[in-house]
């Protein structure tokens, strides 16, 4: 059956104590909202509608940056979850199928859980969970194994408050039915809000069946506070580590590896302790990431070895069997097969041909204070230690730069470039200088 998503993201999140709306705080490198959108996208929805309100412009930008087909509608005043859904319905005009309502601040729902919800044959299916501490959640009131109604905490009796089966807020409803039920909502309740949850009792009154899909409580964690944001991060990372290991990745110290929302790592890759992935990293099979690396927006091919203590920034492309060693930073640079950059180097805005060796301390001087410039190095070249490559500059295939050179002009293929001053050695002069300096110091001390 066709599906459409409504993601509620109008709330402010006062308890975050932040200028940023709560759905834009980052979890594993992406706004919390993007996590909800990503999980929702696993259903391959025909349409996605996001309800924004607080800081709507910023929320719209983040949503569109992730999925430009998503539609954003504005809920000017937050009058309740039912009112929020009502704002989204015009954008679903003409859609027939299941509408799934998600919260933009609830990032950990599993795709499998949403799939179960979408496949449920009932007119309304609510995602429920057994709460260890039900607090102020809405309670699911059942008769036998069927859902009868949802009662909000504020309006619940003591007996109802004792129920631990709670509403996650996620619900799947057949589209025509949702339109009718939302149109019938009122705000005649303890909070004076339009409760989306009232649609269950209204549907039951019409003899329509309502069902519950139960999920793990951990999936329903909402991000309302910084503490919950940290809890969600921990839960995300725990899950990502297990998934990586299940996919055949070795993590020497899993609890010290941090993945981003979109990290992809191939089978038989080994990741050492204390490795952090920013967004946009793909690592092919059989690579090795040694301890203490920070990787972002880069691609690491099969058999490559990175670290320890390496930083790969956006646009770093490592071909097969490349070796990037300790204290090396690579940005917007393509390293062809078998390139070696072993130690203490910076390569930015560069292309390095296959099997070229970059000596320790090499720097591509890519920025003149105004513009960025490129460095091109051919295949099988040898860049001597401590070479400064003042871009724009080209070093040909098979060329050699002498240690300590400042290369400001192109070097042809197979040429040797030496760009440093000649050594001058003056015998005995060091001893003379030291004696002079010591004598001057002793004189000064006597005078004091
Ligand atoms: C809601 C449910 C409750 C459930 C709980 C789970 C209702 C009436 N109650 O309560 O049964 O146990 O979630 O967390 O639905 N939002 C808008 N516009 C609004 C109001 C809310 O976009 O006018 C968004 C919020 O930003 C948030 C989500 O909807 O992402 C839930 O709103 P919230 O006020 O947190 O609902 P609860 O009172 O927690």
Q: Packing angle between helix 32-41 and helix 226-246, nearest 10 degrees?
A: 40
Tokens representing 275 are 């490795």
38-47: average pLDDT: 98
| Cα(81) to centroid(ligand 1), Å | 6
| Cα(222) to centroid(ligand 1), Å | 10
Contact 313, 307 (CB under 8 A): no
Query: How does pLDDT run across 244-275, given as a tens digit for each residue?
Result: 999 999 999 999 999 999 999 999 999 999 99
CA-closest residue to ligand 1 atom 28 = 103
What Rg value do the Cα atoms of the chain yield, rounded?
30
Query: How does pLDDT run across 337-355, given as a tens digit for each residue?
Result: 999 999 999 999 999 999 9
**Which strand (E) or helix (H) includes residue 142?**
strand 139-143
Query: How does pLDDT run across 163-182, given as a tens digit for each residue?
Result: 999 999 999 999 999 999 99
298-302: average pLDDT: 99
The ligand 1 atom at the shortest distance from the C-alpha of residue 12 is: 26
The ligand 1 atom at the shortest distance from the C-alpha of residue 22 is: 26
202-219: average pLDDT: 97
Reduce the secondary structure of 179-230 to three states and give it as a string: HHHHHCCCCCCCCCCCCHHHHHHHHHHCCCCEEEEECCHHHHCCCCCHHHHH
The pLDDT confidence band at residue 1, using thresholds 50, 70 and 90, is confident
| Cα(127) to centroid(ligand 1), Å | 14
Interacting residues of 174 by C-beta distance below 8 A, sequence separation 6+: 97, 98, 99, 123, 124
The ligand 1 atom at the shortest distance from the C-alpha of residue 83 is: 23
| Per-residue model confidence (pLDDT) at position 52 | 98
Please confirm, yes or no, whether 355 is among the known catalytic residues.
Answer: no
The ligand 1 atom at the shortest distance from the C-alpha of residue 80 is: 23
CA-closest residue to ligand 1 atom 17 = 10
| Cα(340) to centroid(ligand 1), Å | 54
Contact 414, 398 (CB under 8 A): yes
| Cα(115) to centroid(ligand 1), Å | 22
Instruction: Give the residue from 294, 330, 293 showing the smallest Cα distance to 315.
Output: 330
| Per-residue model confidence (pLDDT) at position 415 | 98
- Which among 5, 9, 11 is the best mutation to test ligand 1's pocket, defined by most ligand atoms within 8 Å of the CB? 11
CA distance 173 to 71: 19
| Per-residue model confidence (pLDDT) at position 351 | 98
| Per-residue model confidence (pLDDT) at position 157 | 96
Instruction: Give the residue from 124, 122, 126 showing the smallest Cα distance to 114.
Output: 126
Q: Choosing from 25, 54, 299, 343, which is the catalytic residue? A: 343
- Which among 169, 199, 229 is the best mutation to test ligand 1's pocket, defined by most ligand atoms within 8 Å of the CB? 169
65-82: average pLDDT: 97
| Cα(78) to centroid(ligand 1), Å | 10
CA distance 280 to 50: 24
Around ligand 1, the residues with Cβ closer than 6 Å are 8-11, 51, 75, 78-81, 83-84, 103-105, 137-138, 150, 152, 166-169, 195-197, 222
198 pLDDT above the threshold of 90: yes
| Per-residue model confidence (pLDDT) at position 12 | 82
Instruction: Burial-class residue 313 by CB neighbours within 10 Å (0-12, 13-18, 19+).
Output: middle
């Amino acid at each position: 059956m066709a599906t459409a998503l409504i993601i509620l993201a109008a709330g402010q999140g006062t308890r975050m104590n932040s200028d940023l709306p709560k759905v834009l705080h980052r979890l594993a490198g992406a706004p919390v909202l993007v996590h909800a959108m990503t999980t929702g996208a696993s259903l391959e929805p025909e349409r996605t509608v996001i309800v924004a309100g607080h800081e709507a412009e910023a929320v719209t930008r983040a949503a569109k940056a992730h999925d430009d087909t998503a539609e954003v509608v504005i809920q000017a005043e937050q009058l309740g979850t039912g009112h929020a859904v009502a704002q989204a319905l015009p954008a679903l005009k003409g859609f027939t199928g299941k509408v799934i309502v998600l919260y933009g601040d609830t990032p950990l729902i599993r795709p499998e859980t949403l799939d179960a919800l979408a496949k449920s044959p009932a007119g309304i299916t609510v995602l429920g969970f057994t709460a260890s501490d039900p607090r102020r959640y809405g309670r699911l009131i059942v008769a036998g194994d069927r859902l009868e109604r949802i009662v909000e905490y504020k309006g619940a009796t003591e007996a109802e408050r004792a129920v631990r089966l709670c509403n996650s807020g996620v619900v799947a409803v057949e589209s025509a039915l949702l339109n009718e039920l939302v149109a019938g909502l009122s705000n005649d309740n303890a909070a004076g809000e339009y409760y989306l949850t009232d649609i269950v009792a209204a549907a039951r009154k019409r003899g329509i069946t309502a069902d519950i899909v139960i999920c793990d409580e951990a999936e329903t964690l909402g991000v309302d506070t910084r503490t919950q944001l940290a809890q969600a991060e921990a839960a995300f990372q725990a899950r990502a580590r297990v998934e990586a290991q299940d996919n055949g990745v070795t993590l020497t110290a899993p609890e010290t590896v941090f993945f981003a929302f979109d990290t992809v790592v191939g089978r038989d890759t080994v990741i050492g302790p204390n490795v952090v992935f920013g967004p946009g990293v793909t690592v092919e099979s059989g690579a090795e990431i040694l301890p203490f690396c920070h990787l972002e927006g880069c691609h690491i091919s099969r058999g490559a070895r990175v670290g320890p203590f390496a930083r790969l920034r956006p646009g770093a492309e490592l071909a097969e069997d490349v070796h990037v060693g300790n204290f090396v930073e690579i940005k917007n640079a393509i390293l062809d097969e078998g390139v070696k950059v072993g130690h203490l180097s910076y390569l930015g805005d560069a292309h390095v041909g296959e099997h070229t060796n970059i000596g320790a301390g090499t720097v591509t001087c890519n920025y003149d204070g105004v513009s960025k410039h490129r460095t091109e190095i051919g295949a099988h070249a040898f860049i001597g230690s401590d070479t400064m490559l003042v871009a724009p500059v080209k070093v040909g295939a098979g060329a050699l730069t002498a240690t300590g050179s400042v290369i400001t002009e192109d070097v042809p293929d197979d040429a040797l470039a030496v760009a440093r001053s000649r050594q001058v050695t003056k015998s005995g002069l060091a001893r003379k200088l030291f004696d002079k300096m010591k004598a001057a110091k002793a004189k000064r001390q006597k005078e004091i």
